[in-house]
Amino acid sequence: MADYPVLHGIVLSSMPVGEYDRRLSILTKERGRISAFAKGAQKPKSALVAAAQPFVTGAFTVIEGRSSNTMIRAEVNDYFTELRSDLAKTCYGLYFCELAEFATEEFIDESETLQLLYAALRALSKGIPEPGLARVVYEIKITYTRGEGPQVNECVRCHDRKGPFVFHVPSGGCLCAGCAGELFSEEGRKAYELRTQAVASGYFNLDDSTWYALRVIASTQPSRLFSFSVSENVLAELQSVAAAWYAEHVDHTFRSAEMLQTLQDTTVFEDITGKPPV
Distance from C-alpha of 246 to C-alpha of 253, rounded to nearest angstrom: 10
Indicate if the pLDDT at residue 269 is higher than 70: no
Indicate if the pLDDT at residue 57 is higher than 50: yes
What is the pLDDT averaged over residues 101-118?
Answer: 96
**Each residue of 195-229: pLDDT tens digit?**
999 999 999 999 999 999 999 999 999 999 999 99
Q: What is the pTM of this model?
A: 0.92
pLDDT band at 270 (very low <50, low <70, confident <90, very high): low
Summary mean pLDDT of the chain: 93
Are the C-beta atoms of 225 and 217 separated by less than 8 Å?
yes
**Each residue of 82-92: pLDDT tens digit?**
999 999 999 99
Pick the CATH number of 1-79 from 2.60.40.10, 2.30.40.10, 3.40.50.1820, 2.40.50.140: 2.40.50.140
pLDDT band at 1 (very low <50, low <70, confident <90, very high): very low
pLDDT value at position 275?
Answer: 54
pLDDT value at position 67?
Answer: 85
- Report domain extents, the chain: 1-79, 165-209
pLDDT band at 244 (very low <50, low <70, confident <90, very high): very high
Distance from C-alpha of 193 to C-alpha of 107, rounded to nearest angstrom: 48
Indicate if the pLDDT at residue 24 is higher than 70: yes
What is the pLDDT averaged over residues 3-18?
Answer: 96
